[in-house]
Amino acid sequence: MPSANIALSLLNQGQQLHLTRTEGDVIFDALWLRERAPDADTLDALTGQRLIEAAELPLNLSITDATLESGALKLVFSDDHHARFPLTALMTEATAHEVRDDLTLWTSESWAASHDIIPSTDFATALDDDDALLDMLDQLSRFGFVRVSGVPGTEDGMKALIHRIGPVRQTNWGGIADVKSVANAYDLTMTQRGLEPHTDNPYRDPIPGYIWLHCLCNAASGGDSRLVDGFNAAEQLRRQDPEAFASLTEVTPGFRYHDATTRLESEGPLIELDSRGCVKRVRFSNRTERVPALASETLRRYYAARQAFYRLITSDALTLHLKLEPGQMLIMDNYRLFHGRSAFQLEGGTRHMRQGYVDRDSTASRHLLLRDLRHTQKATA
């Protein structure tokens, strides 16, 4: 970043540093800069973890001198600490929370316009090649899902690829578990019913991060998959009906799963926002939702809002239809995507899916590591 385009000034007796740039001004707080100083007295060189006690820094700490030198910001603080910040990294941090250009919100029209080319990868390639695995994780984080082909047709066929990312979550159903119609089903997923667009298991804590759904056999008539971008649905609701949107961010229904050996209960809003007001997680599980007996007025507002949201997430305009074939699987972001299936009739054949959950942190960790690896390789090429 050319330092020539940047002018520095101190505000509020040095408690803030003002950078004037052509791309837009940025103001840094002096305490923030002090506790993040990238030097071996402040941060451990090996782990990057903080060595000083940030909560003990004087609240009136200020910057006494600021200069730019060879792409770095040189600061002197009122506690006589000197620090040097690489400017590019600092700017990346300062603007990271402003834009969300890492997500592409989609509708059914998006895929029709791209000739039905949906996010896809090949199992063996992603398994063997870091670049292909990174592409797979890029697509997953951008669109919220990816279809993988060429998955081995064995019961735990997807396991090898899961293990490139992290452990399979163990639940009361085990690790990789069956999704098929059985007698005396303990869950409606294990019947021939259609499933409304839903997120999986909002009664768990934490809620499963990613769903890996592997098709061994889908010869029954029906049983095709439906995917909806929940973030896009939430944004549409925000635009169309702000009051409904607000209600779904405020009311926190409970979710419940009970069987002979398990009692799982949790709660959370259908639309959950982060501190910036961006949608960070959606929930919808008609089967397991139990809204508390709130004041009638609150409930009425919630029911109207839930209905408006339901109409959106079941609309053709937002729904991607596909039918998984044997040897294919879907990886789905369970914090963003709604997924469902149409009812199936076993007279037409058998239907056998296998499903496992993988946590968000291990998935994000592999993604970041592979990104760093690609950057390093590019830089040294």
179 binds, among Zn ion, ligand OGA, none (CB under 5 to 8 A by kind): ligand OGA
Rounded to whole angstroms, the Cα distance separating 79 from 86 reads: 21
Question: Any contact of residue 353 with ligand OGA (CB under 6 A)?
Answer: yes
Q: Min. distance of Cβ 344 from ligand OGA in angstroms?
A: 8
Q: Least separation, in Å, of the C-beta of 215 and ligand OGA?
A: 8
User: For ligand OGA, which is the closer residue by CB, 1 or 177?
Assistant: 177
Query: Can residue 200 be called a binding residue for Zn ion (CB under 5 A)?
Result: yes
Q: Is 135 in the site for ligand OGA (CB under 6 A)?
A: no
Is 227 among the residues that bind ligand OGA (CB under 6 A)? no
In the bound state with ligand OGA, the residue whose beta carbon lies nearer, of 35 and 187, is 187
Interface with Zn ion, residue 289, by CB under 5 A: no
Q: Can you give the chain as a three-state secondary structure string?
A: CCHHHCEEEEEHHHCEEEEECCCCCEEEEHHHHHHCCCCCCCECCCCCCECCCHHHCCCCCCEEEEEEECCEEEEEECCCCEEEEEHHHHHHHHHCCCCCCCCCCCCHHHHHHCCCCCCEEEHHHHHHCHHHHHHHHHHHHHHCEEEEECCCCCCCCCHHHHCCCCCECCECCECCEEECCCCCCCCHHHCCCCEEEECCCCCCCCCCCEEEEEEEEECCEECCEEEEEHHHHHHHHHHHCHHHHHHHHHCCCEEEEECCCCEEEEECCCEEECCCCCEEEECCCCCCEECCCCCHHHHHHHHHHHHHHHHHHCCCCCEEEECCCCCEEEEEECCCEEEEECCEEHHHCCEEEEEEEECHHHHHHHHHHHHHHHHHHHHHC
Cβ-closest residue to Zn ion?
Answer: 200
Among 139, 225, 328, 363, binds ligand OGA (CB under 6 A): 225
Nearer to ligand OGA, 341 or 367 (CB): 341
- Name the one range near Zn ion by CB under 5 A: 103-111, 147-155, 195-203, 222-230: 195-203
The correct pick among 226, 341, 354, 366 for binding ligand OGA (CB under 6 A) is 341
Beta carbon nearer to Zn ion, 251 or 353: 353
Contact partner at residue 341 from Zn ion, ligand OGA, none, CB < 5 to 8 Å by partner kind: ligand OGA
Nearer to ligand OGA, 107 or 288 (CB): 288
Confirm or reject binding of residue 195 to ligand OGA (CB under 6 A).
yes
Residue 236 interacting partner from Zn ion, ligand OGA, none (CB closer than 5 to 8 Å by kind): none
Judged by CB under 6 A, how many residues of this single chain contact ligand OGA?
9
Q: Which residues bind ligand OGA (CB under 6 A)?
A: 179, 189, 195, 200, 213, 225, 339, 341, 353
Q: Which residues bind Zn ion (CB under 5 A)?
A: 200
